Copies of this chain bind each other. A is one copy, B any other.
Amino acid sequence: MRVALLAHERFPDDAKTALGILRYAEHDVAAVLDRDTAGTRVNEHVPDVQDAPIVSDIDAVDAPIDALIVGVAPIGGGFEPSWRPDVVGALERGCDVIAGLHYFLAEDEEFARLADENDCELRDVRKPPEDLTVSEGRAGEVDAEVILTVGTDCNTGKMTTTMELARAAAEAGHDAAVVPTGQTGIMIEGWGVPIDRTISDFTAGAVERMILEAGDDHDYLFVEGQGSIVHPAYSAVTCGILHGAMADRLVLCHEAGREAIHGYEDFPLPPIETYVDRYENLAAPVHETEVAAGALNTSAYDEPAALDAVDEFADAIDAPAADPIRQGVDDLLEVLL
């Protein structure tokens, strides 16, 4: 599938869906749409992913494409009016449009009409199945070892870490699968439930259902975590995943230098060393687990500072740690598999 990725004013740092697709999906990316960085190329900003030109709008995409993917997820998951011409343009060209917003494209009158007229599809991957229900507390019964990424905050690399761990485990000959819980993971893997969009009573149950669905077919499940249990807005999502997944091992994800909750600067992160007990103690009454490894995003640091930061992070959590992108995940898999 040949796609364009919409990431206006947010590429690369606040466009984690676009980046995830450039890095992990099997799509051929024809262009990234970002009016701020238009004229540059993806690899000028992020060297180690699929390259593509960055253009100002959908009309500047010359190559034929199958789909436009909304590659950003603003706080609240709303649809920004300035994106409308690109979505309209894509539909008028007969492209599908795929989004992971809380705002469902299929419920937008103009988009629905254009999709109908041009015989193309609006795919809202953040729409959960309608038959979810409460957890029965059974995820612990599956044969697979369940490994869950958890975070010191949102946007710390949980999706990236999950993907890197699962791919490296598979390359090493293990039968490993990803359990995607967010829009990017779902777009990459082609299945999954957008956990942050589930009804809170059913959040743990939705995770349990995925674990039960995949858990007897693989030796290892790498569950994509969401948010953080210290987050003022998203902790409900995190807590539901933690208890619903009943993970055997946790991987704590952090961004080097992050000192306050992303977008909530009045809320400082608690000391890193306290997160191990926080996650283990919250999980324990439902399922005993341990923080077995750490993943640190050091993308803002130069090499020596990054290596120091990884060492410091490993000391703080008293477990092996690595930057999955800079260093790979072999050291982490050694303790996880």
Judged by a CB distance under 8 angstroms, whether A230 is at the interface is: yes
Q: Which residues in window 132-160 of A have CB below 8 A to B? A: 133-137
Partner-binding segment picked from A19-27, A278-286, A307-315 = A278-286
User: In the assembled complex, how far is the CB of residue A64 from the closest CB belonging to chain B, in whole angstroms?
Assistant: 35
Q: Name the B residues within 8 Å of A286 (CB-CB).
A: 230-232, 235, 267
On chain B, the residues within 8 Å of A266 by CB distance are 137
**Nearest CB to that of A194 among chain B residues?**
B201
Q: A204 CB to closest chain B CB, in angstroms?
A: 5
Is A327 on the interface with B (CB-CB < 8 A)?
no
Q: How far is the CB of A268 from chain B (nearest CB, A)?
A: 8
A77 within 8 A of B: yes
Taking the nearest CB of chain B, how far is it from the CB of A237, in angstroms?
5
Q: Is A276 an interface residue (CB 8 A)?
A: no
| B135 and A232 contacting across the interface, CB-CB below 8 Å | yes
Q: Is the CB of A237 within 8 A of B234?
A: no
Instruction: Report Cα–Cα, A335/B237, bound state, in Å.
Output: 33
- In the complex, which residues of chain B have a beta carbon less than 8 angstroms from the beta carbon of A136? 232-233, 264
Q: Shortest CB–CB separation between residue A256 and chain B, in angstroms?
A: 19
A236 touches B231 (CB 8 A): no
The chain B residue sitting closest to A134, CB to CB, is B233
A185 interfacial contact with B, CB 8 Å: no
Task: Report the bound CA distance from A76 to B133 in whole Å.
Answer: 6
- Is A282's CB under 8 angstroms from B282's CB? yes
| A284 surroundings in chain B (CB, below 8 A) | 270
Indicate if the CB atoms of B201 and A199 lie closer than 8 Å: no
Contact A137 B264 (CB under 8 A): yes
Instruction: Tell me which residues across on chain B come within 8 A of A237, comparing CB atoms.
Output: 200-201, 236
- A233 to B203: give the CA distance in the assembly, Å: 8
* Known A134-B75, A199-B199, A201-B196: A239·B235 in contact at CB below 8 Å: yes
A270 pairs with B282, CB closer than 8 A: no
Tell me, rounded to whole Å, the shortest Cβ–Cβ distance linking A57 to chain B: 28
> 8 Å CB contacts to B: which residues of A45-66?
none
Q: Are A236 and B239 touching (Cβ within 8 A)? A: yes
**27 sample A-B contacts, Cβ–Cβ < 8 Å, listed by A number:** A75-B134, A102-B201, A134-B234, A135-B233, A137-B264, A196-B200, A196-B201, A197-B200, A197-B201, A198-B199, A199-B199, A200-B200, A200-B240, A201-B233, A201-B236, A204-B232, A204-B233, A205-B233, A229-B239, A229-B282, A230-B286, A232-B243, A232-B286, A236-B240, A236-B243, A270-B284, A282-B282
Q: A200-B203, A232-B243 are in contact. List 12 more A-B contacts (CB 8 A).
A: A76-B134, A102-B201, A134-B234, A135-B233, A196-B201, A200-B240, A201-B237, A204-B234, A232-B286, A269-B285, A281-B281, A282-B282
